[in-house]
Chain A
Amino acid sequence: MLRNPKLEEFQMDTKPPRKSFQHKFSDFLHNDETGTILGRTPESWSKILVFYTIFYAALIALFAICMVTFLQQFINPRVPRLQQEYSVIGTSPGLGFRPLPADVRSTLIYYKGTGYESYKFWEDQLIDFLSVYKKKGQTAGTGQNIFNCDFRNPPPPGKVCDVDIRSWDPCIEENHFSFHKSSPCIFLKLNRIYGWRPEFFDDLASLPPDMPDDLVSYITNATANNRDYANMVWVSCQGETPADREMLGPISYLPYPGFPGYFYPYENAEGYLSPLVAIHLQSPKTGIILNIECRAWAKNIRYDRREKLGVVHFELMLE
């Protein structure tokens, strides 16, 4: 049997001439012989295009159908599907502070001297943050929900409690949040968790042993006048180390060291405003980094420093 009958005796098998890389490449780009562009004829390209258009359209359609079905059938735009202990968010809110540093991953509030330029950034941050609290009266949509809350008059469903900016004085915009006096105000807020209700320390005897003394005495004083004041999520701030505590100086909590209980639960009502506590650091020592830790107190707020549960940490440095 002959392998290659075309081959005559003494005739070598000739190989097609080798093409240069450039030649091959230009052939790939456009081959005149076969009329291909990038290895395919225009007809073939259009077929590919049509096929993949249909294919991906079908895929995207399925994705969209699934997505829309789910979002419409199972998701309520105002109520989370998973709440509290069923959700990853859990039942223990974290604590946040303002102003936030510009640099990511840093929690250092730092400014130099008393010049406007130096604390402008922080002040702008706070103005921006507090603008919702300021504007509420002017905007029709949000303002109309406001209800004058009180421990005895919790807001009815759909209504929200008011936060009075005036009560933070001197931590107000007009006063540059006291930054210019080297005694800055930091605002604390408790994270909103849908449906979360704090469990208050309603029994003075059962206050946790690690609660700072000044807070304990404040609670004792406040509840002595009115038992309702016990319905607060208490807040305390202090230096992390004894040295920090010493150099931090006196702190005043405005309007009071805690978040009033009538703000809870948060149910995503229109115009809801988180209660804030302004911390006025009256005379912190300058030229040194001060580590400050603020903590929220309620029976169902877990405290875990590493997981940042129920606690917030920031540094302050004034020069």
Chain B
Amino acid sequence: MTSRSSSIASITDLFRPEKNKRLRSKDLSSTRLNVLKKEIKTDTHLVPLDTLFDQLGTDPVKGLTRYKAQELLEYYGYNTLTPATQYGWTLVLFKSMCTGFSILIWIGALLCLIAYLIEMTNKINPSYDNLYLGCVLIAVDVICGLFSFYQNYKSSKIMKTFNSMIPVYANCVRDGVMDSETPVRNLVRGDIVEVKAGDIVPADIRIIESKGFKVDNSSLTGESIAVLRANVEGTSNILESPNVAFFSTQCVEGWALGVVLCCGDLTALGRVAGLAARLKPALSPLARELKSFMRCMSLWALCLGFFLAIASLIIGYPFMQTIIFVIGIIVANIPEGLQPTVTASLTLTAQLMVKKQCLVKNLDAIEALGACTTICSDKTGTLTQNKMCVHHIWMWNQTYNVSKIDSEKNNKVFQSLTICGALCSTASIQSDGNISGDASEKAILNFLMEHDNPMTIRDNFPKVAEIPFNSANKYQASVCLNKYDSKFVVLMKGAPEYIANRCATIALKTGNTSLTTEMMKVVELATEKLANSGERVLAFADLTLNTKEFPIDFEFDIDNINFPLDKLRFLGLLGLMDPPRQEVGNAIRRVREAGVRVMMVTGDHPATARAIAHEVGIATSENCYIITGTELRDMSSDVLNWTLEKYYEIVFARTSPTQKLQIVEACQSRGDVVAVTGDGVNDAPALRKADIGISMGLTGSQVSKQTADIVLMDDNFATIVTGIEEGRKIFDNLKKSVCYILISNAPEILPVLMFILFSIPLPLGVMTIICVDLGTDMWPAVSLAYESAESDVMDRVPRKSERLVSARMLRQAYGHLGLMEFAAGMYAYFIVMAEHGFYPAALIGIRKKWDNVAINDLEDSLGQEWTYAERKELERAAQAAYFVAIVVTQMTNGIICKTRFNSFFQVGMKNRILNMGLVFELILACLLCYIPGLSNFFQTYPIRVRWWFLAIPFAVLMFVFDEFRKYCIRNVMYNGWFNNLSYY
């Protein structure tokens, strides 16, 4: 016991507001996180109250002294939730400016500026090309950075939402005086507080004294059922202990006096909040892939740049030239358009999903949903409607489903049952037609409304006395006057075993018979059967009092009961349950067909959980494995892993928020991509940790919506199926987009190599590379996201090892199509040069003279002599022709990349956005070439119309080759050679 207390003390110290000197704030935060992940271990709810008062140094009547309270407050801090350490926006901005390719672009920009500075100090009239290029690179970087900053900077509003759940004032006894305006933030351990109906519990309290004290724990457990809390023996699990009421839960009935066990971050809610705010969600599968791809690309670009730089310096290239082609290599290698394309594609899908009532807060989540292998679903409010309904009716020896009860309308037993139900239900219909009251009472009334008019029954049977439900006798009884025959009727409703014991007869269709022991057994069996299917069973009984003993003016006394409550007539049973949402069963079937495992993780009882699991199809056989929270607590992580491996259908019941998190983490450690659906505060940590957190928009709590990545606005579970479908589709289409972007990389890198190896004038300038990557390529790449799926994506299993950028794609992009583009570009370049008089043979080895400013009379193949300025203009023309060749071939590629498997002729040009994108690409290329200012800035040239057609033969070859390749892939020809080689 001492060890437990000491551990509590150390945890308490950990959450003191003053900075712990020994720990840096980051370490402190992670230590706190690890502490929070553990289950609450405490005995404060088990020890006798007097011991507790001694431990806390308080008095049940007088409370703490003001002095002591002040001391504790100063030591432990306010009774509030401490937000996790957060990065300032400057740091986030800095980080988003320096991720992925940004660093390389910064290097490029820096090199440009250095080159410009060198030129500026050496020459009187430096050309501004390098300065412009540097500025453009910086602009690219800043724009991309701001783009991702906008994505990253989602200020964590989770804590704020939690804090809004906390009341402002509490009734607290200190120095023997009750102060009803004690600020809740000033409460400390050991304070004695009073909570009344309607109040929100101001801290975790242990009940000292209470009357009919019921709290709604929905803010913690997600189950909105009022539970009774009183000064009784506690159970080992504090979360289920009937003598503790928790911070932020609402008192719905009665009142209680309690002693504060813990405050702020240490309360059950504080732990959930702390977890939800401190947990770092795992990187999404897409983000992981992009990150590793970008790292490889950057490393490759840097190495290539570095080695070429060293080599060229050794060969004897001047420093300036070296810088220029290092910039060229870096800029050409980086697919600058990748990040914007991915983001734009995801945004488009997210917008599509919004139309389907699905709000995507975190863009990556939509793709992650497609990759998701496991869904951990909460039950209440997610799979079910969070609304009690009558599900089954049992009348002598026959169980009726609620939908089939209409045939029994004329059954006298049923009529008696409706009367009893109508009179016993404490729910009332308000003027606006809403039904108010306890969940099960509402359910009964709702059920009766469909079959009878409970209001007329109530009018005809005026109530004269009522014994309300309490936990001791477990029944509720009322006495009404039957207006038809002026007899009083006693009507009783309650737990079946109690009611049956009080009955002497039972109503049958044919009349009443006495209730024998055998019949009792039948009743018990029926009750058990209903209870096993997860229903809450209520029994109904009535007794007509004779007019002799109870004349019309009889005074019924509820305190000293003066009327019989036994020898009743047993009417029947009603099975109540929270029914699953209509669409859920179908949705889960489809999800499972798509290879996604669905598990239920609920805070509810195992029987209910099992019943719902069977009903919605999470469990299809009796083998469904049910693990309760208590069992889970005793499991080592290995055993949990083994269980997850061994059983496919698992239902976790009675789990705490931390256990939900534990389950998610266990799945993730197995390599699963986990989606969590949930609506309650208790789901928040799991929602945050999961790869995809899905919350319900209508029934979900603010906290869960704030934490989730995806919010289903109409609570329609079936939207998840659409989400998975869209996620898989977008992954397929992203592959096309990335491939499209990568294809244009080869014709960007190789010119620099040609420039170095063959000493020809540079065939493609850096500015033009940027034009391609961030200009002409952008729209077509993004519009590939609009392609429809090539096959039924829901027939596949979730991707696990399938990569976004695979070796096959690289082969296809760099080895096949890219090279053809390169050939087209070089052809255009050579033709333009040749038409001006520089025949290909003359170009090889000319670079040194070509780039020499001092040489003003360079001779071409025809003896014409070119000044430096004229040469550079010609170079620009040739580069523009190369650029145009890329544009033309990339347009073909847009058509090629539409499909990975199907033939273009099967698919056609139905994607209007892509068609517009291709036209846009053409127009943009024209603008870049023919608008005087633009062509100067971007180093292009108003080239002759006929040079636009130079790339056509290569474009045709590309198209034919790729159709052939896809044909081979479809028919798995040559032993699947092409499939292995390039089916990405």
Measured CB to CB, the residues of A under 8 A from B are 1-4, 7, 9, 12-13, 47, 51-52, 55-56, 58-60, 62-63, 66-67, 70-71, 74-75, 77-82, 87-90, 93-97, 100-101, 104-107, 189, 191-194, 266, 268, 272, 306-309, 312
Task: List the B side residues contacting A308 at CB < 8 Å.
Answer: 856, 867-869
CB distance from A314 to the nearest CB of B (A): 9
Question: How many B residues have CB within 8 A of the partner chain?
Answer: 56
Q: Which of B819, B836, B859, B977 contacts A51 (CB 8 A)?
A: B977
Q: Is the CB of A191 within 8 A of B864?
A: yes
Task: List the B side residues contacting A2 at CB < 8 Å.
Answer: 623, 646-648
Q: Is the CB of B839 within 8 A of A75?
A: yes
Q: How far is the CA of A2 from the CA of B823 in the complex (A)?
A: 56
CB distance from A137 to the nearest CB of B (A): 20
CB distance from A243 to the nearest CB of B (A): 17
The answer, yes or no, to whether B486 is at the interface (CB within 8 Å) is no
Q: How far is the CA of A195 from the CA of B853 in the complex (A)?
A: 26
CB distance from B889 to the nearest CB of A (A): 13
Q: Which of A4, A74, A94, A191 contacts B646 (CB 8 A)?
A: A4
CB distance from B817 to the nearest CB of A (A): 11
Task: List the B side residues contacting A56 at CB < 8 Å.
Answer: 819
Q: Is the CB of B870 within 8 A of A94?
A: yes
Binds A, one of B437-445, B537-545, B827-835: B827-835
The answer, yes or no, to whether B945 is at the interface (CB within 8 Å) is no
Q: Which of B638, B863, B873 contacts A88 (CB 8 A)?
A: B873
Q: How far is the CA of A312 from the CA of B854 in the complex (A)?
A: 10
The answer, yes or no, to whether B607 is at the interface (CB within 8 Å) is no
Q: How far is the CA of A191 from the CA of B858 in the complex (A)?
A: 9
Q: Which of the listed residues A13, A59, A88, A89 has the most CB atoms from chain B within 10 Å of its own CB?
A: A88
The answer, yes or no, to whether B125 is at the interface (CB within 8 Å) is yes
Task: List the A side residues contacting B648 at CB < 8 Å.
Answer: 1-3
CB distance from B857 to the nearest CB of A (A): 3
Q: Say yes or no: A191-B856 contact (C-beta < 8 A), given A94-B867, A268-B863.
A: yes
Q: Is the CB of A100 within 8 A of B645?
A: no
Q: Can you name 4 extra interface pairs (CB under 8 A) apart from A9-B646, A71-B834, A75-B834? A: A94-B857, A94-B865, A94-B870, A104-B848
Q: Is the CB of A67 within 8 A of B827?
A: yes
Q: How far is the CA of A255 from the CA of B410 in the complex (A)?
A: 133
Task: List the B side residues contacting A60 at CB < 8 Å.
Answer: 823
Q: Is the CB of A81 within 8 A of B856?
A: no
Q: Is the CB of A7 within 8 A of B864?
A: no
Q: Which of A51, A55, A96 contacts B856 (CB 8 A)?
A: A96
The answer, yes or no, to whether B121 is at the interface (CB within 8 Å) is no
The answer, yes or no, to whether B299 is at the interface (CB within 8 Å) is no
Measured CB to CB, the residues of B under 8 A from A are 125, 318, 620-621, 623, 638, 641-642, 644-649, 815-816, 819-820, 823, 826-827, 830-831, 834-837, 839-840, 848, 852-857, 859-870, 873-874, 877, 953-954, 957, 977, 981
- Which chain A residue lies CB-closest to B318? A104
Q: Is the CB of A1 within 8 A of B957?
A: no
CB distance from A138 to the nearest CB of B (A): 21
Task: List the B side residues contacting A75 at CB < 8 Å.
Answer: 834-835, 839
Q: How far is the CA of A4 from the CA of B815 in the complex (A)?
A: 41
Q: Is the CB of A1 within 8 A of B620?
A: yes
- Which chain A residue lies CB-closest to B320? A105
Q: Is the CB of B836 within 8 A of A106?
A: no
Q: How far is the CA of A101 from the CA of B854 in the complex (A)?
A: 9
Task: List the B side residues contacting A309 at CB < 8 Å.
Answer: 867, 869
Q: How far is the CA of A128 from the CA of B820 in the complex (A)?
A: 44
Q: Which of A7, A62, A193 contacts B954 (CB 8 A)?
A: A62
Q: Is the CB of B823 within 8 A of A191?
A: no
Q: How far is the CA of A198 from the CA of B837 in the complex (A)?
A: 21
- Which chain B residue lies CB-closest to A307? B869
Q: How far is the CA of A306 from the CA of B127 in the complex (A)?
A: 11
Q: Which of B836, B837, B852 contacts A104 (CB 8 A)?
A: B852
Q: Is the CB of A47 within 8 A of B863?
A: no
Q: How far is the CA of A288 from the CA of B856 in the complex (A)?
A: 25
Q: How far is the CA of A13 from the CA of B638 in the complex (A)?
A: 9
* Contact sample, A vs B, 25 pairs, CB 8 Å cutoff: A2-B647, A3-B646, A4-B646, A7-B645, A7-B646, A12-B642, A47-B977, A59-B820, A60-B823, A62-B823, A66-B827, A66-B953, A71-B834, A75-B834, A87-B836, A89-B866, A89-B874, A94-B857, A96-B857, A97-B856, A189-B857, A191-B856, A191-B866, A266-B864, A272-B863
Task: List the B side residues contacting A189 at CB < 8 Å.
Answer: 857, 865
Task: List the A side residues contacting B840 at CB < 8 Å.
Answer: 67
Q: Say yes or no: A80-B642 contact (C-beta < 8 A), given A104-B318, A104-B852, A307-B869.
A: no
Q: Say yes or no: A88-B870 contact (C-beta < 8 A), given A82-B836, A105-B853.
A: yes
Q: Say yes or no: A268-B862 contact (C-beta < 8 A), given A1-B649, A13-B642, A63-B823.
A: yes
